Amino acid sequence: MFRSGPLSFRLLFAALLLFGGEALVWPHIGGRSLLDAVLALVGYGLLAALWLDLTIRYRVRDLFGLMAQAGFYALLAALLIHPQYSYADLPTSLMTRVMGAQALIALEMGGLLLALTGGGRTLTRVLFAGAVVVGLAWGSWLRWWPPDQGLPPVELSLLLTIGIGGLLGILALTLLNARLTQATPVDSLRLSRGELGGVVIGLLLMLGVRLLQGVVDPGALLVTALLLLLCWAILWFRGREKGATVLDRSFSDPAHRTPRLTVLVAAAILFLVISMMAFQAPRLGFGEVDQLRFIGVGFTAYGLAWLPTVSLVLGGRAFMRQVSERRL
């Protein structure tokens, strides 16, 4: 059975992934059926539990590990939660929407989880900086995306409804988690064999539904499987039995974990204000280079660069370790 402390932490992370995947990425092209909505809710919960389990299981401890986890999550989310959006324009969309937008937003949600539960001045400064940067991007993204789908434009009232509703839910779960995880060890986030088996079976059932719906391209499925294997290999290669993880501070002294309520409210208001300002701003730029193109280029650059960068850096570290141990 899931205990209250780990469960509240998983629910908070699932809410962050849902807000990032549904609001910030904004994959709503062509509408969503009731079945798709149910699959999305279930999927975010299962993927949040799996992400946190992998963090403890492989002792993920730095940015490179988080990037591999975010990529692993993004590939599964693309396949199981919104394949219509993710595979709409292959192979371009695999790099821009999946490895780019979804992986980057997932990494940001992972960082936000640490800021909301880990406390500390550095993470608090990151929280406010993120509110400005992500607010600018989100407001512009919702105002001008998608440019060529023939869909009605998003209204400011919808942005405020999504933003206020999502932030209130995240705030409530943050405060609830702070109360329930006070005496919870971080290793409790690791799933038992039965729990892990249940998560895997749930994800496989979702995949079966998507295959029956015919919304998953066979070629995309193969490439996704290979990329998933590569991301998992990175986590496995760096795994260790004991040691610190990025989540340790989130389960340390409760007096130093969650930022004060005034700080959380101020960051949320800042995010909403910046988002509204960006939403109402006219298209700025030169020629075809404007806010939307700039954000798209950022997503594409991240999608093309993060996996080779992680692989090269970790491979270089492993090589230097071998050289040092053999005194070559």
Which pLDDT belongs to residue 1? 41
For residue 191, is it left (φ>0), alpha (ψ between -120 and 50) or beta?
beta
Q: Distance from first CA to last CA of the chain, Å, rounded?
A: 52
Burial 212-235 (b: 16+ CB within 10 A, else e): eeeebbeebbebbeebbebbeebb
Answer yes or no: are the C-beta atoms of 272 and 134 closer than 8 Å: no
Average pLDDT, the chain: 88
The burial of 160, by beta-carbon neighbours within 10 Å (0-12 exposed, 13-18 middle, 19 or more buried), is given as: middle
pLDDT tens column, 266-319: 999 999 999 999 999 988 777 677 788 889 899 999 999 999 999 888 888 777
Q: What is the pTM of this model?
A: 0.93
Which pLDDT belongs to residue 2? 47
- CA distance to 59, 112, 202, 227, per residue, from 54 (Å): 8, 18, 17, 17
pLDDT tens column, 191-245: 999 999 999 999 999 999 999 998 888 888 999 999 999 999 999 988 888 889 9
Q: Tell me which residue of 196, 44, 187, 34 sits closest to 105, measured CA to CA.
A: 44
- Split at pLDDT 50, 70, 90, the class of 5 is low
